[in-house]
Amino acid sequence: MGKIPTRCVHAGTIHDDLKKGINSPIYTSTSFEFIDQDDTVYPRYLNTPNEKAVAEKIASLEESESALVFSSGMAAISTVLFTFLGKGDHVVFQQGLYGGTSHFLNRELNRFGIEFSIAASQSAEDIGASIRENTKLIYIETPSNPLLNITDIKAVAEVAIDSGILTVIDNTFASPVNQQPCKHGIDIVVHSATKYLGGHSDILAGAVAGSKELIRQIHETGLNFGGSMNAITLYLLERSMKTLHVRVARINENAMQLALFLEAHPNVKQVNYPGLPGHPGHDIAKIQMSGFGGMLSFEVNGQDGISFQKRLKLIKPSMSLGGLETICSSPAHTSHRHLGAEGRKSEGISEELVRLSVGIEDVEDLKSDLEQAL
């Protein structure tokens, strides 16, 4: 099938036998004839032509054997966790998780009899030290939100393989263009396809990639939980992923330039971006990532995150990430508000911290907006 840009465009496309159209036809039916058919097609069974087409593109990009598409990132994540965890099992999470994921585990796992630990840091040693006799799964996320810390994927996979434990990674921040964790020994990749895969801030979607056997098990649980996507959204996701490579390439470039600009600015205290040589995870990032992504965060001298954001004109304070437009947020007041002042302090998230999701605009326009606000 060729290299990533070619696979973004072509992988999974449904051949239009009726008219030889170049794009996948959209199958909107929720009722399919079943007499004399091998399997029953039904959207919640995750087996319509459009569900399979998008899943095939994602598997191709992640270089995994198989994949599934869900109605949101959280539908994908919760389905994976409930597929492999049950009463009496234990799971290790790294520190620095997406807010929705940490809310999920704090609220849902214990009441189903599932125990969990959050490792003291993102290092493979600390993650390994959290393993117990009943640990079934290790869950990581790199680069992390909002400090862009890097977890050594291969080192974590090795710790897990040695102990016969499944590994799951949230690959949303990097996207498969920048990072393909299955190549480094991770078992299951999850995505909020709402972000880079969807890429236009207009659809909610999730995905899971892994081996045929693991995806078969996730499929069986997934059809009970019912987090499937409709055909029109699937088509939009397929359409968006055709430009994933060009979007991410431009976003990588813009983010690197903005990181260097901010780092050199006298009013900026600290810039967190794995592409900067001074970033503590830079050497590992260079090994496991082919681009450093579009997320970065920084602290402004003497201005809290909220007042700084009010001074920006082009860059809007806005939720979510991974779109075409550059947006900013103040994690202490949004995604990490629930941690409380003490919790934020222990994770290193200050009042001054501003997070950027860099888009595809002209980088000089973005610099001017930051400059006038600084």
Ligand X SMILES: *Cc1c(COP(=O)(O)O)cnc(C)c1O
> Which stretches of the chain bind ligand X, using CB under 6 A?
72-74, 98, 100-101, 145, 170, 172-173, 192, 194-195, 204, 206
Closest C-alpha to 329, from 354, 294, 350: 354
Q: How far is the CB of 72 from ligand X (least distance, A)?
A: 3
Q: How far is the CB of 76 from ligand X (least distance, A)?
A: 8
Nearer to ligand X, 98 or 308 (CB): 98
Q: How many CB atoms lie within 10 A of CB 37?
A: 9
Nearer to ligand X, 159 or 204 (CB): 204
Cβ(65)–Cβ(218) below 8 Å: no
Q: How far is the CB of 335 from ligand X (least distance, A)?
A: 9
Nearer to ligand X, 41 or 168 (CB): 168
Nearer to ligand X, 171 or 303 (CB): 171
Cβ(328)–Cβ(309) below 8 Å: yes
Nearer to ligand X, 95 or 145 (CB): 145
Task: Report d(CA 303, CA 198) in Å as an integer.
Answer: 33
Q: How far is the CB of 22 from ligand X (least distance, A)?
A: 29
Q: How far is the CB of 200 from ligand X (least distance, A)?
A: 14
Nearer to ligand X, 128 or 293 (CB): 293
Q: Looking at beta carbons, which residue is closest to ligand X?
A: 73
Closest C-alpha to 5, from 270, 291, 213, 264: 291
Q: How far is the CB of 43 from ligand X (least distance, A)?
A: 18
Closest C-alpha to 230, from 68, 8, 66, 44: 44
Nearer to ligand X, 48 or 142 (CB): 142
Closest C-alpha to 68, from 85, 53, 83, 84: 53
Task: Report d(CA 23, CA 235) in Å as an integer.
Answer: 9
- Helices 49-62, 231-241: crossing angle, 10 deg rounding: 30
Nearer to ligand X, 145 or 272 (CB): 145
Q: How far is the CB of 368 from ligand X (least distance, A)?
A: 28
Q: What are phi and psi of 299, to 5 degrees?
A: -115, 135
Q: Give the tokens for residue 196.
A: 């880079």
Q: How far is the CB of 99 from ligand X (least distance, A)?
A: 8
Nearer to ligand X, 12 or 198 (CB): 198
Q: How far is the CB of 198 from ligand X (least distance, A)?
A: 9
